[in-house]
């Protein structure tokens, strides 16, 4: 029955495992406490190296890990316990956490390195590295947790770091608003997570992943409690992974420095919701009802965000809506039970979306802070490395073979087709939109004539090696990453799926016919070339420049204004909340409740007109009266 | 004897420092409080069994009425003694003696109050409990009245009459218990055995509850609190919120829940609803407050409402959570008010719409204050999280819908606390503040231990949980 080994004492591998999150934490303390007295070079080196060493350790542990490996749990100490509610500070190492460790520390290292160049002129350099390291620590705790609450430490911890980094330039009130919005919207999801944990404890009398999944396996499908648990976990996921209706914080989160957008708001943190569902996939598999909702919400989000992306002119906003849309893809995959496919897309997306964000950072860097693509254009000559790598990222997300996004997206589409053809067509349409807005972005930024100011033109330059090196590494990963999980028709063996097979229940096994799949690939590639040709003609050759939001009309106006969702939330939620708050205080609190209290007091006053003579107004006298009365009451009792 | 020593030491300190002036009085008071803390630590090392009463002292006081001076500490009592003696040094150290006319009286009153509150937490005789309960009110009354803000007279009078009114009802309740107990004795064990019929039990329950509900405060008996917290001098607010309101919660466990089991069973549901309504109500009001102290008063009311709901949940996790959260809340709320005091000292402002820009020049203060704020909104690995999750789970196991509603405070808490932090601390340079000086060394010594306690107890809460574990368990067996 001993399914897993518990390392009670710190043995070799357990020690290594603990070091992985510990090193970035140490980096945080060094940069956080002594930051001001460290040189930027040293500070950046400490921040980058701690994560890099963690990556090497994660790689060492990963070596030789295959499907036959059984998970091991390291219990550090008992966090707290009451009765049967026992929560240990424990880490779980298995195929899923191993994969996430590699993504977080691998992409994390590159983004730390990039930041040492990108943030070089910022006064808050050391503070930035402290926050980044703290983020890596919490993210690692999230994926390593052996029970729901340890993961919750990471879950809220990354939310905190996101808050700190969105509001990194804390003098700007708008950025602080964006930071607060992100935290609060995440908290809405977190409440769902917490109540799900309560229900899990109520149902399974444990919150350890291994125990819960083991005991859930015997349960009937679609039992109400499982539906409730999974729905609530999904509410948590919609907050962290920016799905409808809780997605609006993510575009605003672009207020943070660009490496933050790449690391937190694209590659790692926002995929935590997907991770959580995969971690609990046993429960979700037993709740087809919830899974259907997950797929539908994911689909609508994917389509909705992609359509908004068509009409955005801020380079980071386009990428942000693209991220929301791609996360929607992953949820569709989760909803149709293709858990390993979703993780596959998490992996490839981490490569190409980090690449695109870092590329946009390089562009913004070169453009002296400009983010509006209407004022860019023709950057490919001045920024050759950024241009090529950005193009690779664009091809990867658009799904051109053999770039990484092609394989993972194609697999999602195939799985969705077997589930529901209507969903398939909607998602395929979303893919076309994705290709459109990405190439619109690409051509407007890198082709045509330069539309910026004279001063910007003079200042244009390729970024330093610390920034271009991560771009090149990620470009290679975005090119080759897809071969980690070749689809069934191209190879007899899907390495990715079989690697994750101990974690996720095998997907339904049915594949569309080879004929269909080849047709689909063929059509999508042809369609892609048509879109590229059209966008090139429109935005590069003819140089049609998008108009300002205020000049848009018709449906385009709705898109440019993001369907007015923020305004709607503000009108139907935020304003009424504040209005009620004010009324509660001014009317109910001060007039009703306090009025009643004062009324009773006054009533007593009127009633005691006769006793007025002893009302001297001297509180000392009252005290004496009080003590005397007490004594009198007691005496009375004794005598009676 | 250790219990008696703990009760007498602050009194002795208070008397001895009376002739001293200004800063000397403060130093003497601080030394007294630190010695007191050392004695507490010594007592801790001597306690072997938290489920039993340790350091019992029992002497006949008023033989004709069966009153004994009986004090002692089980785990729950000791936890509150520890909290009191831990916080008082911080509270004293946070004051500026030059701000007070007649500084010696001020510090003497703080120490007297410490002693009276310790009496409440250790008394095992109903009469002695009542005396200590009332005694604790007298020093704070003078502190408010003499050193309070502009509106002090009106606010203090209201606070005083409100609380006294509650106490009178409690006294009647206690006397009823005494008269119905098997023996003519105020001993707690004797009072526990009082044989009450259903109606009397109901009356006793509500009478005693009223006093505690006002002290805690539970909605809708809370309206004295925001104005009192706002008008009190900073140290007074800290004593009130950090320690004194715990008298109400502690007494629920010791003097209410065990004496009227039937009434508790009948009315728990109602009280939980009141408490949870108060949680949401207070959080909602806090969203629009501008005065830092008023805002924190409502925030504190929200947290304490959750503690009360957990205490009445009838679930081990809820009860243990309530006990733990008393400790955690005490530390966090004192930390918050220390932060507010530092802001007010530098700027003479408490209105968050006028503040801002503090982060620019005071990174350490801002960082530590943020950690305390995060403790207050129960972020994991702060002590607030451990308590809040146990409370919410306890409430959940009692009734899941109540937990869902109470859980909304997790969201609202983030809304009003982050709004407060953003408006008061972040933002562009603010001309009205000038340049806000970062923490001085002595302020560091004040705030860093609090931050370490919040984080330490968030990662490893076991030492405090152990104090009350057996008490909470026994509680349900009864």
All residues of chain B having their beta carbon less than 8 Å from the beta carbon of residue A623 are 138
CB–CB contacts below 8 A, A to B: 143
**Burial (CB count within 10 angstroms: exposed 0-12, middle 13-18, buried 19+), residue A604:** exposed
Residues within 8 A of B (CB atoms), A 422-451 only:
none
**Burial (CB count within 10 angstroms: exposed 0-12, middle 13-18, buried 19+), residue A630:** middle
For residue A9, the model assigns a pLDDT of: 40
d(CA B420, CA B300): 14
Kindly give, in sequence order, each residue whose CB lies less than 8 Å from that of residue B231, ignoring residues fewer than 6 positions away. B144, B148, B149, B150, B151, B152, B155, B156
Closest CA to B225 of B206, B257, B248, B254: B248
Residue at token pair 């008996």: B221
Closest CA to B356 of B415, B430, B288: B430
d(CA A92, CA A90): 7
What is the 8-class DSSP label of residue B125?
Answer: B
Contact B160 A190 (CB under 8 A): no
**Looking at the partner chain, which of B285, B407, B472 has a beta carbon nearest the beta carbon of A585?**
B285
Peptide bond into B220 cis (omega under 30): yes
ipTM above 0.95, yes or no: no
Contact B418 A188 (CB under 8 A): no
For residue A3, the model assigns a pLDDT of: 39
d(CA A536, CA A439): 8
C-alpha to C-alpha distances, B179 to A442, A638, B198, nearest whole angstrom: 87, 10, 16
All residues of chain B having their beta carbon less than 8 Å from the beta carbon of residue A231 are none
8 Å CB contact between B449 and B383: no
For residue A639, the model assigns a pLDDT of: 54
Kindly give, in sequence order, each residue whose CB lies less than 8 Å from that of residue A625, ignoring residues fewer than 6 positions away. A614
Contact A578 B288 (CB under 8 A): yes
8 Å CB contact between B301 and A593: no
- Chain B nearest-CA distance from A231, in A, is 14
- Chain A nearest-CA distance from B31, in A, is 31
| Three-state SS at A145 | strand
C-alpha to C-alpha distances, A594 to A82, A597, B282, B410, nearest whole angstrom: 39, 5, 14, 27
Contact B287 A630 (CB under 8 A): no
Q: What order do you get walking across the sheet with A5-7 strand by strand?
A: A5-7, A72-82, A85-93
Contact A191 B429 (CB under 8 A): no
Query: CA nearest A585 in B: which residue?
Result: B285
Tokens of A638: 């004794």
pLDDT in tens, B391-401: 999 999 999 99
Contact A187 B392 (CB under 8 A): no
pLDDT exceeds cutoff 60 at B222: yes
Tokens of A430: 């979303």
- Chain A nearest-CA distance from B200, in A, is 17
Tokens of A545: 């420049």
Residues within 8 A of B (CB atoms), A 582-611 only:
582, 584-585, 589, 593-594, 597-598, 601
The dihedral of CA A537, A538, A542, A545: what is its sign?
A: negative
Q: Are strands B67-73 and B54-62 parallel, antiparallel or unpaired?
A: antiparallel
**Looking at the partner chain, which of B386, B389, B426 has a beta carbon nearest the beta carbon of A176?**
B426
* A187 reaches B (C-beta below 8 A): yes
For residue A571, the model assigns a pLDDT of: 87
Region of A52 on the Ramachandran plot (φ > 0 left; ψ -120 to 50 alpha; else beta): alpha
- Chain A nearest-CA distance from B392, in A, is 9
Q: How confident is the model at residue B132 (pLDDT cuts 50, 70, 90)?
A: very high
Query: CA nearest B406 in A: which residue?
Result: A191
8 Å CB contact between A456 and A376: no
All residues of chain A having their beta carbon less than 8 Å from the beta carbon of residue B426 are 167, 170-171, 173, 176
Q: What's CA A168's distance to the chain center, in Å? A: 18
pLDDT in tens, A498-523: 788 888 876 555 677 778 878 888 88
Tokens of A509: 């096994």
Tokens of B321: 């959570």
For residue A305, the model assigns a pLDDT of: 94
**Looking at the partner chain, which of A184, A201, A593 has a beta carbon nearest the beta carbon of B411?**
A184
Contact B285 A589 (CB under 8 A): yes
For residue A498, the model assigns a pLDDT of: 78
The helix (H) or strand (E) run that includes residue A90 is strand A85-93
Entry pTM: 0.91
> What proportion of chain A, given as a percentage, has pLDDT over 90?
51
For residue A622, the model assigns a pLDDT of: 63
pLDDT in tens, B136-189: 998 998 999 888 888 888 888 888 888 888 899 999 999 999 999 898 899 999
- Chain A nearest-CA distance from B296, in A, is 15
Q: What's CA A169's distance to the chain center, in Å? A: 21
Q: Where are the beta strands (DSSP E) in A286-402?
A: none
Q: What share of chain B is helix, strand, coil (3-state, %, to 5)?
A: 75, 5, 20
Q: What's CA A539's distance to the chain center, in Å? A: 32
Residue at token pair 């240990």: A88
d(CA B285, CA B276): 14
pLDDT in tens, B311-351: 999 899 999 999 999 999 999 999 999 999 999 888 888 88
In the predicted model, what is the mean pLDDT of residues B282-304?
A: 93
Residues of chain A with pLDDT under 50: 1-10
Query: CA nearest B145 in A: which residue?
Result: A619
Contact A157 B157 (CB under 8 A): no
- Chain A nearest-CA distance from B284, in A, is 5
C-alpha to C-alpha distances, A237 to A187, A244, A247, nearest whole angstrom: 11, 10, 11
* A630 reaches B (C-beta below 8 A): yes
Substitution target in A33, A82, A155 with the highest count of B β-carbons within 10 Å is: A82
Residues in chain A: 640
Closest CA to A133 of A111, A148, A117, A101: A111
For residue A609, the model assigns a pLDDT of: 59
Contact A171 B428 (CB under 8 A): yes
The helix (H) or strand (E) run that includes residue A231 is helix A224-240
d(CA A333, CA A294): 9
Contact B285 A578 (CB under 8 A): no
For residue A11, the model assigns a pLDDT of: 65
d(CA A199, CA A227): 11
Closest CA to B94 of B358, B337, B327: B337
Closest CA to B188 of B115, B249, B258: B258
């Amino acid at each position: 029955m001993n399914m897993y080994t518990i390392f009670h004492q710190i043995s070799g591998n357990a020690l290594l495992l603990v070091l992985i999150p510990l090193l970035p934490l140490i980096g945080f303390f060094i940069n956080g406490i002594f930051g001001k007295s460290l040189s930027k070079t040293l500070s950046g080196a400490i921040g980058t190296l701690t994560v890099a060493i963690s990556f090497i350790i994660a790689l060492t542990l990963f070596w030789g890990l295959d499907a036959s490996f059984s998970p091991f749990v390291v219990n550090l100490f008992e966090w707290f316990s009451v009765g049967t509610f026992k929560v240990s500070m424990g880490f779980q190492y298995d195929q899923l956490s191993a994969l996430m460790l590699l993504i977080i520390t691998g992409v994390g290292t590159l983004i730390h390195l990039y930041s040492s160049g990108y943030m070089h002129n910022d006064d808050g350099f050391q503070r930035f590295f402290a926050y980044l390291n703290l983020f890596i620590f919490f993210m690692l705790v999230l994926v390593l947790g052996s029970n729901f609450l340890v993961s919750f430490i990471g879950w809220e911890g990354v939310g905190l770091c996101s808050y700190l980094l969105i509001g990194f330039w804390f003098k700007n009130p708008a950025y602080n608003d964006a930071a607060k919005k992100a935290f609060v919207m995440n908290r809405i999801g977190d409440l769902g997570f917490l109540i799900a944990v309560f229900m899990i404890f109520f149902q399974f009398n444990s919150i350890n992943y291994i125990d819960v999944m083991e005991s859930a396996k015997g349960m009937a499908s679609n039992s109400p409690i499982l539906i409730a648990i999974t729905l609530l976990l999904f509410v948590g996921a919609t907050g962290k992974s920016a799905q409808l209706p809780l997605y609006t914080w993510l575009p605003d989160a672009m207020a943070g420095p660009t490496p933050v957008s790449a690391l937190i708001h694209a590659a790692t943190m926002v995929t935590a919701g997907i991770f959580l569902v995969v971690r609990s996939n046993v429960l979700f598999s037993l709740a087809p009802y919830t899974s259907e909702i997950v797929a539908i919400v994911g689909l609508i989000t994917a389509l909705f965000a992609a359509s908004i992306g068509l009409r955005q002119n801020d380079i980071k906003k386009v990428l942000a809506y693209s991220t929301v849309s791609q996360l929607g893809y992953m949820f569709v995959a989760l909803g149709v039970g293709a858990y390993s496919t979703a993780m596959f897309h998490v992996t490839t997306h981490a490569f190409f979306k980090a690449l695109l964000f870092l590329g946009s950072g390089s562009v913004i860097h070169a453009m002296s802070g400009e983010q509006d693509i209407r004022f860019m254009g023709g950057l490919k000559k001045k920024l050759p490395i950024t241009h090529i790598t950005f193009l690779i990222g664009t091809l990867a997300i658009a799904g051109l073979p053999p770039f990484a996004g092609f394989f993972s997206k194609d697999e999602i589409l195939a799985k969705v087709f077997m589930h529901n053809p209507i969903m398939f067509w909607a998602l395929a349409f979303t893919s076309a939109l994705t290709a459109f807005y990405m190439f619109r972005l690409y051509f407007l930024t890198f082709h045509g004539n330069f539309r910026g100011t004279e001063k910007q033109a003079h200042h244009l330059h390729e970024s330093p090696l610390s920034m271009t090196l991560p771009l090149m590494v990620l470009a290679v990963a975005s090119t080759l990453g897809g071969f980690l999980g070749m689809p069934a028709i191209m190879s007899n063996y899907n390495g990715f799926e079989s690697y994750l097979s101990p974690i996720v229940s095998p997907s339904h096994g049915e594949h569309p016919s080879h004929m269909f799949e080849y047709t689909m690939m063929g059509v999508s590639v042809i369609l892609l070339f048509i879109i590229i040709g059209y966008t090139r003609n429109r935005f590069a050759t003819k140089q049609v420049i998008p108009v300002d939001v205020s000049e848009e009309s018709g449906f385009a106006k709705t898109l440019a204004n993001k369907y007015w969702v923020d305004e709607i939330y503000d009108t139907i939620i935020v304003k009424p909340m504040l209005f009620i708050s004010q009324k509660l205080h001014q009317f109910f609190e001060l007039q009703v409740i306090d009025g009643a209290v004062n009324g009773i007091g006054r009533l007593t006053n009127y009633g005691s007109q006769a006793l007025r003579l002893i009302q001297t107004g001297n509180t000392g006298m009252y005290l004496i009266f009080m003590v005397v009365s007490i004594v009198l009451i007691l005496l009375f009792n004794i005598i009676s | 004897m250790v219990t008696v020593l703990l009760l007498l030491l602050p009194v002795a300190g208070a008397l001895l420092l009376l002739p001293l002036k200004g800063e000397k009085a403060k130093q003497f008071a601080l030394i007294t409080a630190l010695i007191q803390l050392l004695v507490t630590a010594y007592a801790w090392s001597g306690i072997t069994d938290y489920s039993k009463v340790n350091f019992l002292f029992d002497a006949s006081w008023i033989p004709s009425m069966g009153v004994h001076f009986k004090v002692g500490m089980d785990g729950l009592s000791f936890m509150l003694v520890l909290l009191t003696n831990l916080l008082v040094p911080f509270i004293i150290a946070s004051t500026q003696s030059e701000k007070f006319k007649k500084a010696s009286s001020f510090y003497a009153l703080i120490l007297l109050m410490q002693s009276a509150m310790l009496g409440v937490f250790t008394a095992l005789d109903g009469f002695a409990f009542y005396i200590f309960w009332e005694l604790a009110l007298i020093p704070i009354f003078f502190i408010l009245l003499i050193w309070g803000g502009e509106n002090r007279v009106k606010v203090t009078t209201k606070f005083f009459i409100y609380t006294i009114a509650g106490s009178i009802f409690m006294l009647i309740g206690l006397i009823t218990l005494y008269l119905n107990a098997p023996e003519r004795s105020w001993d707690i064990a004797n009072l526990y055995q009082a044989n009450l019929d259903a109606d009397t039990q109901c009356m006793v329950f509500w009478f005693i509850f009223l006093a505690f509900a006002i002290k805690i405060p539970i909605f809708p008996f809370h309206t004295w609190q925001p104005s009192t917290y706002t008008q009190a001098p900073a140290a007074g607010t800290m004593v009130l919120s950090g320690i004194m309101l715990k008298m109400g919660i502690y007494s629920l466990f010791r003097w209410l829940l065990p004496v009227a089991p039937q009434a508790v069973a009948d009315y728990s549901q109602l009280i939980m609803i009141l408490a949870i309504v108060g949680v949401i109500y207070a959080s909602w009001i806090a969203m629009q407050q501008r005065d830092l102290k008023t805002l924190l008063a409502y925030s504190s009311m929200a947290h304490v409402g959750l503690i009360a709901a957990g205490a009445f949940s009838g679930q081990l996790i809820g009860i243990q959570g309530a006990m733990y959260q008393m400790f955690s809340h005490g530390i966090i709320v004192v930390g918050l008010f220390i932060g507010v005091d530092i802001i007010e000292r530098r700027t003479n402002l408490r209105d968050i719409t006028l503040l801002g820009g503090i982060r620019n020049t005071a990174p350490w203060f801002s960082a530590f204050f943020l950690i305390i704020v995060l403790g207050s909104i129960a972020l994991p690995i702060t002590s607030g999280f451990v308590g809040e999750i146990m409370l919410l789970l306890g409430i959940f196991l009692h009734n899941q819908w109540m937990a869902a509603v109470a859980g909304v405070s997790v969201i609202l808490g983030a809304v009003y606390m982050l709004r407060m932090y953003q408006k008061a601390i972040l933002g562009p340079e603010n001309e009205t503040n000038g340049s806000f000086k970062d923490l001085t060394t002595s302020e560091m010594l004040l705030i860093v231990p609090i931050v370490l306690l919040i984080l330490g107890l968030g990662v490893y809460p076991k030492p405090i949980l152990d104090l009350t574990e057996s008490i909470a368990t026994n509680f349900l067996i009864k």
